[in-house]
A and B are shown apart, each in its own frame.
Chain A
Amino acid sequence: MFPKKFDYYSPKTISEAIGLIDELKDAKVLAGGQSLLPMMKLRLATPAALIDLSNINGELGSIVQDKSSVEIGAMARIAELAKSKAVQKSLPALYDASLVIADTQVRNMGTIGGNLANADPNNDMPVVALALNAKMEVRNKNGKRLESADGFFVGPYTTKIAENELLTKIIFPVEHGRFGSAYSRIERRIGDYALAAAATSIKLESSGKVTDARIAVAGISMNAIRLEAVEKALIGAKPDQKTTNEITLKTVKDIDVEDSYYATASTKRMAVAYAVQKSLDKVYERAKAKK
Chain B
Amino acid sequence: MERLERFVAGEGNYVDDIYVEKPLYMAVLRSPYGRAKINSIKGGMNFHDIDKVLMSVGEGASEGRKAIMHPVFAKSTVNYVGQPVAAVFAEDPYEAEDMLETVEVDYEPLDAVVDPEAAIKAKPIHEGMKSNVLSDRYIGKKFNIDADIVLEDRLENHRIATNAIEPRGILVNYVSGNLVIYASTQSVFSMKNGICGTLGLDGDKVRVIQADTGGGFGLKGGVQPEYPIAAYAALHYKRSVKWIETRSEHLMAANQGRGAIGKMKLYANKDGRMLGIEGEIVVDAGAYAGGMAEFGPGFIAMQLTGQYGIENGYVHAISVLTNKVPYGPYRGAGRPEAAFFMERMVDMLADKIGMDDARIRLLNSTRTQFKSPLGLEIDASKPFMEKAIKKLGYSKSGNKNAGLSLFVLVPGAAPGESARIAVQDGAVHVWLGSNPHGQGHEFFVKNLLSKEFGIPKSKITLEVTDTEKIKSGIGTWGSRSAMVGGAAAVTVARAIKEEVAKRNGRYSPKALLAGDYDHFEFYKYNGSINAFGANLAFAHVESIGRVRVDEVRAFYDVGNALDMGMVKGQISGGIVQGVGQVAGEEVIYDSNGQLLTSSISAAGLVRAAAIPKMRIAVDQNPSSLPHKARGLGEAPTIGTPAAVVRSIEKASGRRIRETPITEDALL
Contact = CB atoms under 8 A, between A and B. Distances in A.
Contacts of B663: 263, 267, 270-271
A262 B662 CA distance: 9
Nearest to A263: B663
Contacts of A267: 545, 662-664, 667
A193 B601 contact: yes
A261 B601 contact: no
Main SS class of interface, A: loop
Given A2-B94, A5-B98, A192-B601, A270 B545 contact: yes
B98 A1 contact: no
A271 B544 CA distance: 6
A274 B585 CA distance: 24
Contact of A274 (B543, B588, B610): B543
A43 interface: yes
A242 interface: no
A264 B664 contact: yes
Contacts of A250: none
B667 A266 contact: yes
B596 interface: yes
Main SS class of interface, B: loop
B607 A191 contact: yes
Contacts of B609: 189-190
B516 interface: no
A271 B98 CA distance: 42
Contacts of A261: 588, 590, 596-597
Contacts of A189: 584, 601, 604-607, 609-610
B544 A2 contact: no
B369 interface: no
B664 A263 contact: yes
Contacts of A1: 246-248
B147 interface: no
A4 interface: yes
Given A266-B664, A270-B667, A2 B601 contact: no
Contacts of A43: 97
Contacts of A4: 97-98
Nearest to B544: A274
Contacts of A5: 94, 98
A270 B246 contact: no
Interface in B89-115: 93-94, 96-98
A188 interface: yes
Contacts of B667: 266-267, 270
Given A188-B546, A189-B607, A267-B545, A262 B602 contact: yes
Contacts of B247: 1
A261 B601 CA distance: 14
Contacts of B662: 263, 267
A5 B94 CA distance: 8
Nearest to A264: B664
A188 B606 CA distance: 10
A255 interface: no
Interface in A1-42: 1-5, 42
Contacts of B605: 189
B645 to A, nearest CB: 17
A216 B346 CA distance: 47
Nearest to B609: A190
A267 B661 CA distance: 13
A186 interface: yes
Nearest to A272: B544
Interface string A255-289: 00000011110110011001000000000000000
B248 A186 contact: no
Interface string A113-139: 000000000000000000000000000
A27 to B, nearest CB: 20
Interface string B648-662: 000000000000001
Nearest to B660: A188
A56 B221 CA distance: 51
A280 B97 CA distance: 49
Interface in B595-626: 596-597, 601-602, 604-607, 609-610
Interface string B532-564: 000000000001111000000000000000000
A179 B96 CA distance: 57
Contacts of A188: 546, 584, 604
A243 B625 CA distance: 68
A43 B246 CA distance: 13
A66 B590 CA distance: 52
A271 to B, nearest CB: 6
A275 B254 CA distance: 37
Contacts of A191: 601, 607
A4 B93 CA distance: 11
Nearest to B543: A274
A239 B542 CA distance: 24
B584 A2 contact: no
Nearest to B94: A2
Nearest to B610: A189
A210 to B, nearest CB: 24
Contacts of A264: 664
B253 to A, nearest CB: 14
A283 B76 CA distance: 62
Interface in A79-122: none
Contacts of B610: 189-190
A188 B247 CA distance: 21
A191 B247 CA distance: 18
B98 to A, nearest CB: 7
Contacts of A193: 601
Given A261-B597, A270-B544, A2 B248 contact: no
A178 B480 CA distance: 67
Contacts of A186: 544, 546
Interface in B372-387: none
Nearest to A277: B543
Contacts of B546: 186, 188
A2 B93 contact: yes
Contacts of A262: 602
B248 A42 contact: yes
Contacts of B597: 261
Interface string A171-205: 00000000000000010111111000000000000
A128 B195 CA distance: 56
A274 B247 CA distance: 33
Nearest to B249: A1
A99 to B, nearest CB: 14
Nearest to A188: B584
Nearest to B100: A43
Nearest to B605: A189
Interface string A66-83: 000000000000000000
A2 B97 contact: yes
A187 to B, nearest CB: 9
A65 to B, nearest CB: 33
Interface in B79-95: 93-94
A42 B602 CA distance: 15
B544 A190 contact: no
A188 B93 CA distance: 34
In this complex, the member of A4, A43, A192, A262 whose beta carbon has the largest number of chain B beta carbons within 10 angstroms is A262
B661 to A, nearest CB: 11
11 contacts: A1-B247, A2-B94, A186-B544, A188-B584, A189-B607, A189-B609, A191-B601, A267-B545, A267-B663, A270-B545, A271-B663
Given A190-B610, A261-B590, A263-B664, 18 more contacts: A2-B93, A5-B98, A43-B97, A186-B544, A188-B604, A189-B584, A189-B604, A189-B607, A190-B607, A190-B609, A261-B596, A261-B597, A262-B602, A264-B664, A270-B544, A270-B545, A271-B544, A274-B543
Closest 9 CB pairs of A and B: A2-B97, A261-B596, A190-B609, A1-B246, A267-B663, A2-B94, A261-B588, A274-B544, A189-B607
